Structure 1
Amino acid sequence: MKPIQCRLARTALGWGVVDLAKAAGVSTQTVVRLERGEELRETTLARIQAVLEDAGIEFIPADGGGVGVRFRNPS
Structure 2
Amino acid sequence: MSLKEGFDKIENDLKRMKGTYQPTKIKRIGGENTLMIISEHIVPETENTMKVYHLIFQLNDKERKEIAALARL
Normalised by the size of structure 1, how large is the TM-score? 0.28
Greater relative contact order (CA < 8 Å, ≥ 6 in sequence):
1
More helix by share: 1
Normalised by the size of structure 2, how large is the TM-score? 0.29
More strand by share: 2
- Bigger-Rg structure (1/2): 2
